[in-house]
Structure 1
Amino acid sequence: MRQIDHFIQGYAGSGAGVRKHSIWNPSTGEVQAEVALGDASVLEAAIANAKRVQPEWAATNPQKRARVMFEFKRLVEANKQALAELLASEHGKVVDDAHGDIQRGLEVIEFACGIPQALKGEYTNGAGPGIDVYSMRQPLGIGAGITPFNFPAMIPMWMFGMAIAAGNAFILKPSERDPSVPVRLAELFVEAGAPEGLLQVVHGDKEMVDAILDHPAIAAISFVGSSDIAHYIYSRGTANNKRVQAFGGAKNHGIVMPDADLDQVVNDLAGAAFGSAGERCMALPVVVPVGEDTANALRAKLIPAINALRVGVSNDPEAHYGPVVTPEHKARVEGWISTAEAEGGEIVIDGRGFTLQGHENGFFVGPTLIDHVTPDMESYKEEIFGPVLQMVRAKDFEEALRLPSEHQYGNGVAIFTRNGHAAREFAHRVNVGMVGINVPIPVPVAYHSFGGWKRSGFGDIDQYGMEGLRFWTKTKKITQRWPDGGGDGSNAFLIPTMG
């Protein structure tokens, strides 16, 4: 069986007796590999390497750092198909979605290639008599990233791309469910010319997470995962005087106004609600039609579109989405469908018990549509994280606005309308961090930033873009005055001469 070890320069590897975690093939239901679970001693080996190489990397001029980022981008692009197939085999998402996973990560790497420009500070000439003030951005030292299973390429690149370009060393703790792609990315980073020890990968569960949170050498931590764990990461990390950004769960709403193009809405929902089996924090699992006429018309169009979705194995080029990641997650998603039914929701299309011929042991959940969901239902309050679309009917614009604004999560939201005033009013007033106007998944481009509000985000600084650069650097401010003349107190300028 394939064994996945830590990627630590000089580390001898995991021997017998080390705890292991099984890696499933979600399409077949078979265990395909094992990953070693590390502890504080494994982290200590990575820290030792990071301490050794980080000062020299920080002293490397930004232009040379950018060249490494450019070469890494080239190598990832050259290996993109193999990376996508490896990612799909462990996660379950179809290969096309895996390509998107990699590409969105590469867009942040592209931004990081501009680090010489991004690192420039501010300068004020003549802030006082003979006084100038300027600033410079300097790296923090060693950063760490704790990343989720659902984007094993994109989110690590969001984190380490900005951190390393800014001059830090980086230790990545990916999900133990699909760790192979993060290891391969680290290998490519060394191949791109990065010093060994600059980007390292350690595997583990809570024991490793706690070691990262407690280690005094780690200055900053970036996390993406569930909200309860995000709150834990933020609380324990900041208590240890670390800089922490921790992004949690979501329950993103799509508001459908009566004037919306329903055909376009249905097309958008098919991808936003069910793509990647709904295992995305920016998925759109709640649709809010405004008015009964809108709701009935939307429902009539959704039913045939959802029934036409093709569920298949991850390497099926015709499949719209594949299996969920583990048997436990399949049971969890189906459990939420049952909960919604018990709470009074109408199961219009039921994905429970779905099997794929020839892959009966795979972790498949069929596309599900639940109508007449209300805000008091637990299935509405919590994140399902599966191919389930819930419909919450709103009587008017104000009710539709309140639903996402009052929800515990505040990651993303979308409004579908032809009315510019309604869209502007909604974008201004809604209490959510990322807003789409006729855009179902409003993930900002790499030169802006990503981050939700409320229980979707803990910490004050977003990911990637200039916000990401601010997170991974500290600003030094210099106020300088050069006296006129020499040591005798004269005011004559002393100008060096040649010869």
Structure 2
Amino acid sequence: MTVVGHLINGQRREDSSRTQDVFNPAKGVASKQVALASKATVEEAIAAAQAAFPAWRDTPPMKRARIMFRFKELLEQNADRICALIGEEHGKILHDAAGELQRGIENVEYACGAPELLKGEYSKNVGPGIDSWSEFQPLGVVAGITPFNFPVMVPLWMYPMAIVCGNCFILKPSERDPSSTLFIAELLHEAGLPSGVLNVVNGDKEAVDTLLTDPRIQAVSFVGSTPIAEYIYKTATAHGKRCQALGGAKNHAIVMPDADLDNVVSSLLGAAFGSSGERCMALSVAVAVGDEIADALIARMTEAMSKLKVGAYDDKSNDFGPLITRQHKDKVVGYIASAEAQGATVVVDGRQARIAGCEEGFFVDATLIDRVTPEMTSYQEEIFGPVLQVVRVATMQDAMDLINAHEYGNGTCIYTRDGEAARYFSDHIQVGMVGINIPLPVPVAYHSFGGWKRSLFGDLHAYGPDGVRFYTRRKTITQRWPSANVREGAEFSMPTMK
């Protein structure tokens, strides 16, 4: 069986003392294995990055950007291969994988603007004959730990920006679907990246803890569940590292009585069930304001969901695919059962999904649950599956209070024709990313991505302008070249401009 190894100092490496199966989730069988890096292997990758840093730091930003331009072209030329690798190991349908890749490419495009992004600021004559300016300098060796649900896009949120800012990078991708990540890293080397600037180590907690505690790592980026995000943040910062750790979500959509129901249904289908709900921006709760709109929404969703098609990644007529593992399938099924046991109504039940030719796959079909209440376990926790729950409330303020009270604050949206209501919602909702008649308000590459509350640990969001700030530190230089004919005496008071 093929073993997926590591990429260290520009070379493929195997560390096969420990391995883990990588599954084709549509078939439910192991298709390959991934090597789990030892502490020594991770330390070797860090040493390679540290050795490459001085030369890369001194490489002009324009030359770094040119490598990213070539990298973008290679990503586009190899799109079919990349999407197939995503589908084989994640289960994501090819059209969905293509969307993931495109959003990643957009972050590479933003990174191509490094010469502009790193310009800094300059002020002449801040004092007599004194000039001052700021520079954005790289941190050194930085690391990223990325999740299974976006094996291409999320790494591309991180290392293109870190690298064009002059850092060297250690990537620890998810061990569940490592092949597309490793293939793309090799494309970046094909584009001209020097050896050691980007290193990929596959692994588990041993690899993660090595990155979090090694003093040579200056900063850590993470995307994953909230319990792990909190652990990453606390451990990294306790060891003196800069850290951004993006956690889980419970994203609500408020459906107002005046909403365009056709738009609502179409939006919720894709936002709740796309990628089998394994998105941190998936809409998992519809909050219907009033029983009339709730009843209409349930009826329309039930009809529309009967036409959804679930199956393997390589049939583009499928709407979404399997869950990532059998264990995760069992977890999602457990949430549906708990909602039912606690008094909710399972209107559309996806627990018995059976796909011809994929009988052993990890499938849960689209599920709709009505009359969910805030004390239910399925409401409180992140399901991360193709499950949409409906909560009924009397007023818009009730809906907003429900959202603001939740521990997560990643994304939310409102469906309404009322501009005043939409503006009030966007001003007062305690959530980091807000949509108005937009189901997935994921910021474009030249903005930044991040939630509030327990959806983000750290002060800076991912990619965009915050990405530049995270991967650089500001240095301010003030200089004077005094005239040969002027000699000043010592001053003991605080220097000021009078």
Taking structure 1 as the reference length, the TM-score comes to 0.96
2:259 is the counterpart of 1:260: yes
For 2:7, the equivalent position in structure 1 comes to 7
Q: Is the 8 A contact 1:93 1:276 kept in 2?
A: yes
Q: In the TM superposition, what is the alpha-carbon distance from 1:344 to its structure 2 partner?
A: 0.8
Deviates more, 1:178-187 or 1:118-127: 118-127
Sequence identity of aligned pairs in percent? 55
For 2:335, the equivalent position in structure 1 comes to 336
SS in 1 for 2:22: strand
Q: In the TM superposition, what is the alpha-carbon distance from 1:353 to its structure 2 partner?
A: 2.0
Counterparts of 1:323 and 1:166, CA distance in 2: 38
For 2:232, the equivalent position in structure 1 comes to 233
Q: Which amino acid aligns with 1:412?
A: G
Counterparts of 1:350 and 1:210, CA distance in 2: 40
SS in 2 for 1:219: strand
SS in 1 for 2:393: coil
Q: Is the 8 A contact 1:370 1:390 kept in 2?
A: yes
SS in 1 for 2:402: helix
- Where structure 2 has 5 or more consecutive residues not aligned to the other structure, the ranges are 489-498
For 2:359, the equivalent position in structure 1 comes to 360
Counterparts of 1:419 and 1:2, CA distance in 2: 56
SS in 1 for 2:47: helix
For 2:151, the equivalent position in structure 1 comes to 152
SS in 2 for 1:444: coil
For 2:428, the equivalent position in structure 1 comes to 429
How is 1:304-315 mapped onto 2 (pairs within 5 angstroms)? 304-315=303-314
- Where structure 1 has 5 or more consecutive residues not aligned to the other structure, the ranges are 490-499
C-alpha RMSD over aligned residues: 1.3
Counterparts of 2:38 and 2:213, CA distance in 1: 12
- Alignment CA distance shift 1:313-1:143 (3 Å): same
Q: In the TM superposition, what is the alpha-carbon distance from 1:487 to its structure 2 partner?
A: 8.1
Q: Which amino acid aligns with 1:348?
A: V
Counterparts of 2:295 and 2:12, CA distance in 1: 63
Q: Which amino acid aligns with 1:9?
A: N
Counterparts of 1:130 and 1:400, CA distance in 2: 60
Counterparts of 1:241 and 1:102, CA distance in 2: 33
Q: In the TM superposition, what is the alpha-carbon distance from 1:330 to its structure 2 partner?
A: 0.6
Counterparts of 2:418 and 2:5, CA distance in 1: 54
Post-superposition Cα deviations, 1:262-288, rounded to whole Å, max 9, x if no partner, equal 011000000000000000000001001
SS in 2 for 1:297: helix
For 2:494, the equivalent position in structure 1 comes to none
Counterparts of 1:147 and 1:342, CA distance in 2: 35
Q: Is the 8 A contact 2:142 2:219 kept in 1?
A: yes
- Alignment CA distance shift 1:488-1:410 (3 Å): closer
Q: Is the 8 A contact 1:39 1:211 kept in 2?
A: no
Counterparts of 2:12 and 2:100, CA distance in 1: 31
Post-superposition Cα deviations, 1:149-184, rounded to whole Å, max 9, x if no partner, equal 000000000000110010000000000000001101
Counterparts of 1:365 and 1:37, CA distance in 2: 29
Q: Is the 8 A contact 2:15 2:37 kept in 1?
A: no
Q: Is the 8 A contact 2:68 2:108 kept in 1?
A: yes
For 2:68, the equivalent position in structure 1 comes to 69
For 1:166, the equivalent position in structure 2 comes to 165
2:184 is the counterpart of 1:185: yes
For 1:301, the equivalent position in structure 2 comes to 300
Counterparts of 1:151 and 1:10, CA distance in 2: 23
Post-superposition Cα deviations, 1:339-396, rounded to whole Å, max 9, x if no partner, equal 1111111000111121111210011101100000001111100000000000001110
2:131 is the counterpart of 1:132: yes
How is 1:405-444 mapped onto 2 (pairs within 5 angstroms)? 405-444=404-443
Counterparts of 2:12 and 2:74, CA distance in 1: 27
Q: In the TM superposition, what is the alpha-carbon distance from 1:131 to its structure 2 partner?
A: 1.8
For 2:220, the equivalent position in structure 1 comes to 221
For 1:57, the equivalent position in structure 2 comes to 56
Counterparts of 1:358 and 1:46, CA distance in 2: 42
Q: Which amino acid aligns with 1:467?
A: D
Counterparts of 2:56 and 2:345, CA distance in 1: 58
- Alignment CA distance shift 1:392-1:199 (3 Å): same
2:253 is the counterpart of 1:251: no
Q: In the TM superposition, what is the alpha-carbon distance from 1:422 to its structure 2 partner?
A: 0.4
Counterparts of 1:316 and 1:57, CA distance in 2: 43
2:77 is the counterpart of 1:78: yes
Taking structure 2 as the reference length, the TM-score comes to 0.97
SS in 2 for 1:24: strand
SS in 2 for 1:125: strand
Counterparts of 2:355 and 2:361, CA distance in 1: 8
Q: Is the 8 A contact 1:224 1:246 kept in 2?
A: yes
2:475 is the counterpart of 1:479: no
Counterparts of 2:476 and 2:230, CA distance in 1: 32
Q: In the TM superposition, what is the alpha-carbon distance from 1:130 to its structure 2 partner?
A: 2.0
Q: Is the 8 A contact 1:372 1:393 kept in 2?
A: yes
Counterparts of 1:70 and 1:411, CA distance in 2: 32
For 1:387, the equivalent position in structure 2 comes to 386
Counterparts of 2:290 and 2:210, CA distance in 1: 52
SS in 2 for 1:393: strand
For 1:176, the equivalent position in structure 2 comes to 175
Q: Which amino acid aligns with 2:282?
A: A
Q: Which amino acid aligns with 1:8?
A: I
Counterparts of 2:88 and 2:368, CA distance in 1: 27
Q: Is the 8 A contact 1:170 1:199 kept in 2?
A: yes
For 1:492, the equivalent position in structure 2 comes to none
Q: Which amino acid aligns with 1:210?
A: D
Q: In the TM superposition, what is the alpha-carbon distance from 1:3 to its structure 2 partner?
A: 1.0
